[in-house]
Structure 1
Amino acid sequence: MKTLNQRLNEIKVVPVIAIHDADKAVKLAQVLVENGLPCAEVTFRTPAAAQAIKNMRAAYPEMLIGSGTVLTAKQVDESIEAGVDFVVSPGFNPTTVKYCQQRGVPIIPGVNNPSLVEQAMEMGLDTLKFFPAEPSGGVNMLKALTAVYPITFMPTGGVNPKNVNDYLAIPAVIACGGTWMIPNDLIDNEKWDELAKLVAEVSTILK
């Protein structure tokens, strides 16, 4: 069985989704799977997140699904109940990390400086989210961190078609999180053909 990092490394780009209507989740998952991105990080920025994850999981059992913007133990519980493969948080909260470890679900917490990286390493973590990537110094900052620490990273925040390959060229980067291929307005208005085109274009962008 492939590890989480191996699966992320194969996909390379993780669509970060804020979905407002869980009834649209299955169709969105279909668009992602059929156009080369069988993965989603469904963020808890909307009340529909947990149900959307459940719907995606039921329809596409093999899809790689994470929950994002997880801030509380309750959201960890909801994520696990919904069937996630991993949890992502925007910052490094030791309480949330410990709870995920106790529950046996992988967590990729956000960091953007050396002190936070070292705190995460102290808790046994070896894969972290570099967030917000561009405002935190972008590729140059991430190169500086990876030169010092034996950590793999998933940069997210400001990643786009123009810079995604710069991030992926860093050996310690396993994947990037991005939103450009799944605009909220296209999801809300069920513009599935337009979404499919944007998702399919990701593979042509990647070198």
Structure 2
Amino acid sequence: MAVSSSNGLWSMASPNSFFLSSIKDPFIFISTSNSCSKSRSSFCSKQNSYKYSHQNALSYSPNSVADKVLKDIRNSGIIACLRAHSAEVAVEAARAAFQGGISVLEVVMSNPGVLEVLQCLIHEYPSKSIGVGTVLDGKDAKDAIKSGAKFLMSPAMVKDILDDVTRGQALYIPGVMTPTEILFAFNAGAKLVKVYPVSALGGVQYISALRKPFPHIPMVASQGITIDSIGDYISQGASSVVLSDAIFDKKALDQQNFDTIYQLARLAALQGDEAVESRRRVW
């Protein structure tokens, strides 16, 4: 179990031997906040004085927001998906994941204080691609974009979001399941689709089968993916994979064991880098 010291340093008393055998250097997660706040209003040190302006904060044109996110997703091979039981835990878990090497983060819409969490993280990590997941309607999409989301993700395709909401200000990644849905979403303007729930549909073999008729459509594999299967998914045609519990372990979140999350993120990031590099050599 993680122990928090007065200077914001977490360490594990008995690190899992799996991680130590996988990565040689020691793991130490250093919190970027002075302490883990008890109230939502203070979980981000600059939350009260900071108001995010999507247009003013961008140093690049709106159309390039989607392009940058697409590039980050493809280059990292991983989208980390965060579900937490409080805003405070969500922020600390995200910090641990970023320090572990994650560059693309999806914060699920059902997280308490999701828009405040989003604003805080974008302020602290302006170069990261941070978005909102499980967006099911136009209102939530608009609220997320106003709060600075660089991408939106849904378990299905929400046509209103694709047609009317993003307008180049963010990348929209609709969820698809069948070949018909994949082609429909792509023809409707989606630059990237999320194949969900991929494990229930056949996993790596399903991605491989879809890649044959749709080599021109970038796909993200999502649901039930483990760290050790990242390479298989990417080698068989996925642009990236979504990792949820594989990084943000439920027990670690419950115990606020952010060092474990850091370790999992670091291992996932390394696996993603290796898979992407292997894809470059082959393709």
TM-score, structure 2 length as denominator? 0.67
What residue ranges of structure 1 are gaps of 5+ in the alignment?
none
Shift of residue 40, structure 1, vs aligned partner: 1.0
1:151–1:55 distance in 2 versus 1, CA, 3 Å: same
The residue identity in structure 1 corresponding to 2:178 is N
Matches within 5 A, 1:62-73: 62-73=127-138
Percent of aligned pairs with the same residue?
21
Alpha-carbon contact 1:5-1:174 (below 8 Å) kept: no
Question: 150-159 or 33-42: which moved more?
Answer: 33-42
Q: State the partner residue of 1:193.
A: 259
Shift of residue 19, structure 1, vs aligned partner: 2.1
The residue identity in structure 1 corresponding to 2:111 is T
Q: State the partner residue of 1:33.
A: 98
Alpha-carbon contact 1:100-1:107 (below 8 Å) kept: no
Superposition CA RMSD, Å: 1.9
Number of positions where the alignment pairs a residue of Structure 1 with one of Structure 2: 206
2: distance between equivalents of 1:121 and 1:193?
39
Matches within 5 A, 1:120-131: 120-131=185-196
Q: State the partner residue of 2:161.
A: 96
Q: 2:227 aligns with which of 141, 161, 166?
A: 161
Q: State the partner residue of 2:80.
A: 15
1:204–1:106 distance in 2 versus 1, CA, 3 Å: closer
Shift of residue 191, structure 1, vs aligned partner: 0.8
Shift of residue 204, structure 1, vs aligned partner: 4.2
1: distance between equivalents of 2:177 and 2:71?
23
What residue ranges of structure 2 are gaps of 5+ in the alignment?
1-63, 275-283
Q: State the partner residue of 2:217.
A: 151
The residue identity in structure 2 corresponding to 1:13 is I
1: distance between equivalents of 2:98 and 2:163?
32
TM-score, structure 1 length as denominator? 0.90
2: distance between equivalents of 1:26 and 1:42?
10
Alpha-carbon contact 1:19-1:48 (below 8 Å) kept: no
